[in-house]
Copies of this chain bind each other. A is one copy, B any other.
Amino acid sequence: MTTLIIMEEKETCPAQRLLKMLSGKWKAEIFRLAVESPLRFNNLLRQIQGSNKQSLATALKELEEEGLLEKITIKLKPLHIEYNLTDKGKALIPVFQQLEGLSQ
């Protein structure tokens, strides 16, 4: 019998958790587009050049798990899925604005 113990690294730095949420090659860009309007998968794939399905799917899933985006099924007309910023996600907008201000 084998017992595998995986120790969850406990956070020492409070900002680290948030930073981790936004780390990853495509998340910032996804977030930025989400601020503008609801996202759709294949749309995103075309908008973010250089990206790929798998990575976007993973990033979207993580952003969703982290509670920054919510996935909703639009049951009307052309029946599709949308990703929207949650309130928690919207709370991060000022952080992005601040970062963008600094990057000048």
Give A contacts to B, CB under 8 Å: 9, 12-20, 22-23, 28-29, 32, 48, 50, 91-92, 94-96, 98-100, 102-103
State the majority secondary structure of interface residues on A. Answer: helix
For the A-B complex with A17-B103, A19-B23 known, give 7 more contacts whose Cβ atoms are closer than 8 Å: A13-B29, A14-B100, A15-B96, A15-B100, A16-B28, A19-B99, A95-B99
Given known pairs A91-B102, A102-B95, the reply for A29 and B17 (CB within 8 Å) is no
User: Which of B12, B28, B91 interacts with A15 by CB under 8 Å?
Assistant: B28
Q: In the complex, which residues of chain B have a beta carbon less than 8 angstroms from the beta carbon of A18? A: 99, 102-103
A18 vs B16: C-alpha distance when bound (angstroms): 14
CB-based contact B100/A98 at 8 Å: no
A100 vs B20: C-alpha distance when bound (angstroms): 13
Given known pairs A19-B23, A94-B98, A95-B102, the reply for A28 and B13 (CB within 8 Å) is yes
A18 vs B23: C-alpha distance when bound (angstroms): 11
- 16 residue pairs from A and B, CB less than 8 Å apart: A9-B50, A12-B29, A14-B99, A14-B100, A14-B103, A15-B28, A15-B96, A16-B29, A18-B99, A19-B19, A19-B23, A19-B99, A20-B23, A91-B102, A95-B95, A98-B98
